Structure 1
Amino acid sequence: MEEPSCNEIIQKPPTEEKILVSNEIKENDHKSKEIKGFVPISLGDIDKYNAQQKNKNTVRKHDSNLKKLKTFLKQQQLPTDITQIEMKELDNILCMFILSIRKENGDEYETTSLRSFVSSIDKELQLNNYQFTIAKGQRQGFPRFRETLSSKMKKVKKEGKGNKANAAQPIEQHEIQKLYDEGQLGNGSPQAIINSLWFRFTTNFGMRSVEEHYNLRWGDVKLCRDVEGDEYLELVERQTKTRTGATDEARTVPPRIWANDEDPSKCVVATYRIYASKRPHRFSEPSDPFYLSTSTKANITATTGNEQWFISMKMGI
């Protein structure tokens, strides 16, 4: 019997058994390329995950806001389905709601919370094909409510509630005023500036630990301006040991402190501007420390004109 030639061996199709074995080897080889401890993720999976997490928080907040509105409507013995109320009547109802709503402790809500209430109400109207909207557009209505909301937002900003801050130990106004009178707070000296920024960042940004202040970078605090031209400081939060990014700690809106136009001597934006002008420019990169050591030169005050109030050295704890 003649042996097959090389060409015959190459051209001969593999048996069914060999095909099955070959496919099994390829499948196992593909699985072996998957690194243990990880699951396959595509770019689409990333977008889907982010959308799901965002939607969970959004839906939870939306439901909470509408629940507060319905509670108000029940107390006023009004219909709880706002989509069935005529716009002119609902316009007045929403004015009463936004003016009367308070936190459980009686304090005013911050501007970010007020915007959240309005956004939820408007979304509810749009989802139910209501004839008018609160937001700008061809179907915009509720003129009285929009005017009332604008007035309240300005009032809340002036009261220093432009952002949501974490709870801090209460301090009486007369105690704060005493610190200003004694020159420990204010813009009159390098140390007073540091004290003022530290104090306001603690009470308004909710910076709870010494570590948070010590690790603060110059680029973590931004001077911004809103659409109405009002200035504010905004905290760009980075994860730390005291802020891990967990759901119950995360703040969806960056903390803000609004300018105090009525009393510039106590305005944190004015203090920030002075601090920016008096610290070394070469030590004002985003990654540089926020708090710098004060100059050792004696008698540096706001009236000396000395530009070097701070030195290129991180302030110690």
Structure 2
Amino acid sequence: MAGRFQFVSKDYIDFRVRDRIPKNTQRNTNWGVNTWNLWVTVRNNARQLGQPKFPCAMELEFISPQEMNEYLCHFVLEVRNTNGELYPATTLNQLLAGLSRYLKDELNRPDLNLYNPNNVYFNRFRQTLDAQMKLVTEKGIGTVKRQAQPITEEQEKCLWDKGLLSINDAVGLSKVVYFYNCKVFGLRSCDEHNNLQAEQYTFSSDEAGNFVLYHGRA
């Protein structure tokens, strides 16, 4: 009967619990915590006249919600990237989300759930974060999105000349449909292509001639 069970240690359980978290999420959490620790170190060493005493990072497991709320308001407005520039709104939010995840999951502090609207202790933090995100957006920080360069007519012609696009066989025709769905209708993700339905296309015409109308879905 003993062979039916394999005993494990508490450390192994902790490892399995941590290992279930996606690597990107773990990196985001570490980034949030490391940035917080660095800010606390700089804040404690600044010794600015009239500034309140700030906690060292190791005290996060004992800090009260009221204290954490006060420090977070400063952190949101004072944190910068390695170039000394303000973070875009989405990046700032991700930074705080990583720190919140650490407080809630790693330190087992549900009372420090920063984003819970029912947690009134962090109303001021959420208001400060909202104000800062609006400010950086108004400044245009992070609002310029990267766009893929459009394919040129010469490149498109080359695809046809080399037979990569073709209407003479099933494979070539499938590539044609895929290519022009991307080029003309702006489909990008795999889900958009996999979930396409024939009823999303309608044939119509106007004074300029016939055309195909694509109906996207949320």
TM-score by length of 2: 0.53
For residue 56 of structure 2, what is the amino acid of its counterpart?
P
1:121 pairs, out of 74, 92, 99, with 99
Q: Answer with 1 or 2: which has the greater Rg.
A: 1
Superposition deviation, residue 150 in structure 1 = 0.5
Q: What CA deviation, in whole Å up to 9, does each residue of 1:55-111 have, x standing for no partner?
A: 011101210121011000111123103232222221111111111111222222112
Measured after TM superposition, the shift of residue 54 of structure 1 is 7.1
The 1:153/1:137 distance shift into structure 2, 3 A limit, reads closer
Partners of 1:160 and 1:89 in 2: CA distance = 32
Answer yes or no: is the 8 Å Cα contact 2:73–2:128 preserved in 1.
Answer: yes
Partner SS for 1:142: helix
Match of 1:158 in 2: 138
Distance, in Å, in 2 between the alignment partners of 1:158 and 1:206 is 19
What amino acid is aligned across from residue 65 of structure 2 in structure 1? M
Partners in 1 of 2:67 and 2:120 — Cα distance? 15
1:144 maps to 124
**For 2:150, which of 209, 213, 218 is the aligned residue?**
213
Identity level (%):
21
CA shift, 1:237, in A, is 6.4
Per the TM alignment, residue 112 of structure 1 is displaced from its structure 2 partner at its CA by 1.6
Task: Say if 2:52 is the partner of 1:72.
Answer: no
1:135-155 per-residue CA deviation (whole Å, 9 max, x = no partner) reads 125445312111110001111
Residue 69 (structure 2) pairs with residue 91 (structure 1): yes
Superposed CA deviations along residues 204-246 of structure 1, whole A, max 9, x for unmatched, are 22236xxx3237645448xxxxxxxxxxxxxx568xxxxxxxx
- Matches of residues 219-298 of structure 1 in structure 2 within 5 Å? 219-220=185-186, 282=211, 285=214
Any residues of structure 2 matched to 1:23-34 within 5 Å, and which? Answer: none
* Mapped pair 1:57 → 2:24: yes
Q: Distance in 1 between matches of 2:210 and 2:134?
A: 34
Q: CA 1:138–1:154 in structure 2 vs 1: closer, same or farther (change >3 Å)?
A: closer
Amino acid at match of 2:36: L
Contact 1:218 1:284 in 2 (8 A): no
User: How many angstroms apart in 1 are the aligned matches of 2:210 and 2:80?
Assistant: 44
Equivalent of residue 83 in structure 2, options 90, 94, 105:
105
Secondary structure of 2:121's counterpart equals: coil
Q: How many residues align?
A: 139
Matched AA of 1:94: L
Q: Which amino acid aligns with 1:149?
A: L
Change (3 A) 1:283 1:87: same
| Structure 2 gap segments, 5+ residues each | 1-18, 45-54, 153-181, 191-208
- d(CA) in 2 for partners of 1:129 and 1:282? 59
Q: 1:284 to 1:104 in 2, by over 3 A?
A: farther
Which structure's relative contact order is higher, taking Cα pairs within 8 Å and 6+ residues apart?
2
Q: TM-score, normalised by structure 1?
A: 0.38
- Residue 268 of structure 1 is matched in structure 2 by none
CA contact (8 A) 1:132 1:140 kept: no
Cα distance in 1, alignment partners of residues 120 and 186 from structure 2? 37
Across the aligned residues of Structure 1 and Structure 2, the Cα RMSD in angstroms comes to: 3.3
